[in-house]
Structure 1
Amino acid sequence: MYSRISTVALLARALSDQAESYDYLLAGAGTAGLVIACRLSENPKVSVLVIESGPDVRNDGVVTSGNFSFTGANDRVLSYRAGKAVGGRSIVNGMVYIRGEQAQFDAFEKLGDSEWNWDSLFSYGKKGERFEGPDTAQKTAGVTANPADHGTNGSLTTWKSIGVNPVTDINGGNPHGFVSAPQTLDRDKIRRSSSAAAYYKPVDSRPNLKVIQGNMKRIIWANEKKNRAVASGFYAKEEKLGVKVKSAMPGVGENMQDHNAMVIGYGTANTLVGDTPFATLVTAQDALGNKMPVLAASSRSQISTWAQAASTYTGGAIDAKTYEKRFQIQHDLIFKQNVTIAELFPTNLGSAIVSQLWTTHPFSWSSVHLKSLVSFDDPVIDPNIFSLQFDIDMLVAVARKEQKAYSTPPLSTFVAPNQVLPTNATDEQWTAYVQANAGNTLHVVDTCAMLPLDLGGIVDSKLKVYGTSNMRVVDASVIPVELTGHTTGPLYAVAEKAADIINNDS
């Protein structure tokens, strides 16, 4: 949450009473928080305070390393890790930088978020990027890039043979195909480039920017202004508090969207050396082939039923008509606009290739809520994964497409057939496997959605919380449409635009 405040009341870590005054208070030094802090503090006339519950680990060798390892249904417990540190999730993520697809961003505007679309965000996506194009060795290996799609401060044969063509650059708004995926890394040093490294480290000596460790437990509210609540500060001391509602919004914590993921391993004939930074992004047409029209028609006929079930899931907090509108827009993205609906991303382990695959637009939405007034770090998360057969069918279709690729030369000459399921496995066998093994990707969005209030929104197009005059939310939770790829890339663009909005609104 981000506010322009005249006075901030806080308790220091020593718990001695101390009052300090700042122009801006930021709760959380995460991926987006440090972008905001950096941009606001560019103005030496304003002061910025950031409070972060996690430590500063910018010099931790495990964090800065370029190494990364990957982690349901049937009542299994799923892990929802978070980056509790200065830098947030950009400290612990897989470092893959994929912005998403143009039609998905344009859906923001269709849902009522004026001035939020691909065209308005593309320049912000490039603003903080210092892109390093492929070197000679990478070009030889098949890595391509289009410099115009970026800021400046392997063989393709297999996928092409089964109908998926190469694309020059994954971040130009049309990522359909097989492509090399950029990473948030210093290429030559093989060192992670997090928001802490890119946005905070270069400016951490600014006298008007301060980051402290602590927990924000309660917002202090001043007198209302024009029937809107005014945040005037916070307490950073743990207290047993009652929660007084300042602005009732039943959508808080609802509509949690994530990618449905699965991992399939393939043993290699010989030890493979090097990374495999290639992503394959497929459409429903790619995955379903001639089955697509039937699934498109049957699923569209069920939208009203799905919408009613989603409303019931929220206890009626959000009505079925709201979900029907949102589900129709998502369905159109999949079946009419033919956006990429899944990503396949292999990781080389030397003696094996681990293929990660996930689908982008499941209709089984979930929720996250506060467990109790003293359990801020232990929320109730219900993944609600695969509550609809459609979501299983889509993941199965993508897994079949991936299996075909690894059964086709030249990939089939490098790997042994997987021992998971045979190439002629039935839909029933695949469904059972998905329910037993699939999970989440931690690409969570939409729990604090930037939407009109009547669609369950929490913040408006200026990112202000409805019913308040000076409190904003800027993180992945405001993104109202799940995006192709990974969350970090689009979040940087959202944060850069948010910083401009805040500066221009001050």
Structure 2
Amino acid sequence: MPSGAISDPTPINGATFDYIIIGAGNAGMPLANRLSEDSSKSVLVIEAGGDVRYDDTVRIANETYGDNKKNPDHSWIYPAVMQIENTKPDVWFGKGIGGSTNVNGQVWNAPSKAQVEAIAKLGNDGWSWEDLLKYYKRAQDYHPPSAELAADPGVTYDPEVHNSGGPVTISHPNITFVPQTQSVFVKAVKTALGMDRAQDLQSGDNVGVAFVAQTIHPNSTLQRVSSATSYFTPIENSRSNLVILLKSRATKIIWDDSANGTDAKAIGVEFQQYQGGQTFTAKTRGEVILSAGAMRSPFLLELSGVGDPRRLSTIGIAPKVNLPGVGLNHIEQYQVGTGAPVLNISWHGFGASSSIAQSNAIQLFGKNVTEVESYVRSKHATWAQDQVNGGAAYNVEGIMKQYELMTDGIFSNQVPIGENFFGNGFWGPLSSLSMSMYVLTPYSRGYVHAISSNPWSDPVFNPRFFTVPFDMDMEVAHLRSARKIFNTTEMQSIMYNTTFSPLCNCTLDSAEEYGFLRSHAIQSYSTLDHSVGTCSMMPKEYGGVVNSKFMVYGTQNLRVVDASIIPMQLSAHPQATVYAIAEKAADIIKNQHTNSTQS
């Protein structure tokens, strides 16, 4: 049996493995590494893309989003059906060994403690901030900021939430900093929003402005760190029990037909290398693990007969497991940008931005926050029913439970609801100041579904953006915060002609301004490609797809381990959390099989 990364499926066809992992991305590669630590266990990873580790737009952590998005070897692109006022955004994710960690913005941060605890309160035993922190730390090899950056612009960190020696290198590369502008940004945020510095946005106390760590090698010319370079490259030539099959698309999970009257048992996976090509089969004596992401994991479940039987029957798929929550509860963050020309500053920073300000409800809604909270709580039932009527949630009870936990987090625990992502050039020329305003905690829900039994077709994708009006309220409040930041004397001191886009000659916080900013948001919003929720970890009666140990309900040995299991959006960029989830899942799987062997 071959090992390492291969493209020839011939030796895999008909072979049997202890674990088959579908997807070699943010979660798939950590799982492959950890599960193959036991030399007695054989691990197969089936990856639709190729080995892109050494492609320049992947290897170099610069602003290469456009180049990667246009390259089908690097990206999956999923256009949405028509959205608000005839807008049609898309989401895109990485393809190849490394998945989305090949093409992301390299930010390493974690959600609020309260949001992790809310996952447990939704009905998931064994989940807590302290437990997940253990896995954030296990994944990382942290390099503190240099003395230069600690002095100016004042990069800080909390040593209690970091670790050295893990697979994923994270650092604060000097090359990504422009102290002249970043120091001004920190001061302007304090003036405009009363926002203090946050010591470390991985600490679980993540309201404030800070300079985040990034998955970039320290003291390098922007060398990207991905799940492939972290979890595969170091062991590529030393694990004879691990094989990654490239350029092969998993098309269906194979079931044991003799397991009648019991939970379904996966015995293998079918895959092809091109549409209409030969169908190959890999078998398992242990488990199948889906790590294909929030768009493809539910898609593959439905192709394999796991989902709503009524939906599956209409597209010619024989139902195997009755699980109506598959593909529902899609949640995506989105952004609107603004920018301004910079004045008399030699711009020498490169790569992804390291400057982030995360705002809570008090900072965005000010003296109106109590009234806003009352409004939100009064609308829970109405919004929940709308999500069910729109085909995005299984039942009112389940989405109401999410809304209650979200609203408690936003107004009682003051978790961040928005992010100002500050840098250069992504909303204008490279010499300009740029700021993206992210809505981190949207209430709107969407869905992803197979539309036929053809695995080479694309799923239908309807994110249903802004179907909950409060999502637009948060975006407008965030745009207002950006106007206030740009209008500070600190920011004006480095701006050319003291103007910014969009320019509105209307009074701050007026109804006229709301209408103007709403229009700007609709015309210019885009996704952050941070999709979660489509295989949600929550009780089955709420529309859950997996239990707290990642096992798909109604199956004996099929798990989902990727961003799709996260049931509510988190106030963070997802890669660090997905690494932690994969590390936790690996422990659960290894412990289960160790215990079963011993018994």
TM-score, structure 1 as length reference = 0.94
Q: Secondary structure at the match of 1:219?
A: strand
Q: Which residue of 2 aligns with 1:243?
A: 317
- Tell me if the contact between 1:181 and 1:278 (Cα under 8 Å) persists in the aligned partners: yes
Cα separation, 2, equivalents of 1:52 and 1:98? 27
Residue 304 in 1 paired to residue 381 in 2? yes
1:132-151 mapped onto 2 (5 Å cutoff):
132-139=143-150, 140-151=152-163
Q: Which residue of 1 aligns with 2:142?
A: 131
| Greater mean alpha carbon deviation, residues 349-358 or residues 478-487 | 349-358
Correspondent of 1:85 among 90, 96, 101: 96
Residue 446 in 1 paired to residue 533 in 2? yes
Residues 258-300 of structure 1, C-alpha deviation per residue, up to 9 Å, x if partnerless?
1121111111112432255110001011000011111111121
| Greater mean alpha carbon deviation, residues 136-145 or residues 286-295 | 136-145
C-alpha displacement at 1:377, in angstroms? 5.1
Correspondent of 2:60 among 32, 54, 65: 65
Look up the equivalent residue of 1:194 and give its one-letter code.
S
Residue 229 in 1 paired to residue 224 in 2? no
Calculate percent identity across the aligned residue pairs: 32
Q: Secondary structure at the match of 2:423?
A: strand
- Tell me if the contact between 1:185 and 1:193 (Cα under 8 Å) persists in the aligned partners: yes
C-alpha displacement at 1:86, in angstroms? 0.8
Look up the equivalent residue of 1:311 and give its one-letter code.
V
Residue 361 in 1 paired to residue 450 in 2? no
Quick one: structure 1 residues 19 and 178, their matched pair in 2 at CA, closer, same or farther if it must change by over 3 Å?
A: same
Q: Which residue of 1 aligns with 2:464?
A: 384
Q: Which residue of 1 aligns with 2:586?
A: 499
Cα separation, 1, equivalents of 2:410 and 2:227? 32
Look up the equivalent residue of 2:416 and give its one-letter code.
T
C-alpha displacement at 1:69, in angstroms? 4.8
1:40-439 mapped onto 2 (5 Å cutoff):
40-69=35-64, 73-139=84-150, 140-153=152-165, 154-155=182-183, 156-162=186-192, 163-189=194-220, 190-205=222-237, 206-213=239-246, 214-222=248-256, 223-224=258-259, 227-237=262-272, 242-271=316-345, 272-275=347-350, 276-314=353-391, 318-349=394-425, 350-376=430-456, 378-415=458-495, 416-422=498-504, 424=507, 426-439=513-526
Residues 151-194 of structure 1, C-alpha deviation per residue, up to 9 Å, x if partnerless?
11132322222300001111010011010011111021121000
Cα separation, 1, equivalents of 2:217 and 2:85? 41
C-alpha displacement at 1:485, in angstroms? 1.9
Cα separation, 1, equivalents of 2:355 and 2:111? 16
- Tell me if the contact between 1:170 and 1:179 (Cα under 8 Å) persists in the aligned partners: yes
Look up the equivalent residue of 1:273 and give its one-letter code.
H
C-alpha displacement at 1:478, in angstroms? 0.3
Look up the equivalent residue of 2:35 and give its one-letter code.
L
C-alpha displacement at 1:14, in angstroms? 6.2
Residues 68-122 of structure 1, C-alpha deviation per residue, up to 9 Å, x if partnerless?
2567642211121111111111011111111111111100001001111211100
Quick one: structure 1 residues 54 and 17, their matched pair in 2 at CA, closer, same or farther if it must change by over 3 Å?
A: closer
Cα separation, 2, equivalents of 1:366 and 1:234? 28
Cα separation, 1, equivalents of 2:197 and 2:479? 19
Quick one: structure 1 residues 210 and 16, their matched pair in 2 at CA, closer, same or farther if it must change by over 3 Å?
A: closer
Q: Which residue of 1 aligns with 2:27?
A: 32
Quick one: structure 1 residues 67 and 472, their matched pair in 2 at CA, closer, same or farther if it must change by over 3 Å?
A: same
C-alpha displacement at 1:16, in angstroms? 8.9
Give the root-mean-square deviation of aligned CA atoms. 1.9
Look up the equivalent residue of 2:252 and give its one-letter code.
R
Cα separation, 1, equivalents of 2:266 and 2:135? 28
Q: Which of structure 1's runs of 4+ aligned residues deviate more than 3 A?
A: 12-18, 69-73, 237-242
Look up the equivalent residue of 2:322 and give its one-letter code.
A
Cα separation, 2, equivalents of 1:17 and 1:145? 46
Unaligned runs of 5+ in 1: 1-11
C-alpha displacement at 1:136, in angstroms? 2.2
C-alpha displacement at 1:450, in angstroms? 0.7
Cα separation, 1, equivalents of 2:115 and 2:336? 23
- Tell me if the contact between 2:391 and 2:446 (Cα under 8 Å) persists in the aligned partners: no
Cα separation, 2, equivalents of 1:172 and 1:22? 39
C-alpha displacement at 1:480, in angstroms? 1.0
Q: Which residue of 1 aligns with 2:169?
A: none
Quick one: structure 1 residues 370 and 13, their matched pair in 2 at CA, closer, same or farther if it must change by over 3 Å?
A: farther
Q: Secondary structure at the match of 2:433?
A: strand
- Tell me if the contact between 2:251 and 2:455 (Cα under 8 Å) persists in the aligned partners: no
Q: Which residue of 2 aligns with 1:469?
A: 556
- Tell me if the contact between 1:246 and 1:467 (Cα under 8 Å) persists in the aligned partners: no
C-alpha displacement at 1:236, in angstroms? 1.4
Q: Which residue of 1 aligns with 2:291?
A: none
C-alpha displacement at 1:17, in angstroms? 9.1
Cα separation, 2, equivalents of 1:17 and 1:279? 46
Residues 212-238 of structure 1, C-alpha deviation per residue, up to 9 Å, x if partnerless?
021111211113277111111112136
Q: Secondary structure at the match of 1:279?
A: strand
Residues 22-64 of structure 1, C-alpha deviation per residue, up to 9 Å, x if partnerless?
1111111111000000000011111100000001111112101
- Tell me if the contact between 2:359 and 2:419 (Cα under 8 Å) persists in the aligned partners: yes
- For these two proteins, the number of residue pairs brought into alignment is 494
Cα separation, 1, equivalents of 2:406 and 2:129? 16
C-alpha displacement at 1:439, in angstroms? 2.4
Quick one: structure 1 residues 196 and 70, their matched pair in 2 at CA, closer, same or farther if it must change by over 3 Å?
A: closer
Look up the equivalent residue of 1:51 and give its one-letter code.
I
TM-score, structure 2 as length reference = 0.79
Q: Which residue of 2 aligns with 1:9?
A: none
Look up the equivalent residue of 2:223 and give its one-letter code.
R
Quick one: structure 1 residues 14 and 293, their matched pair in 2 at CA, closer, same or farther if it must change by over 3 Å?
A: closer
Residues 355-378 of structure 1, C-alpha deviation per residue, up to 9 Å, x if partnerless?
111111111111111122225451
Cα separation, 1, equivalents of 2:143 and 2:584? 23
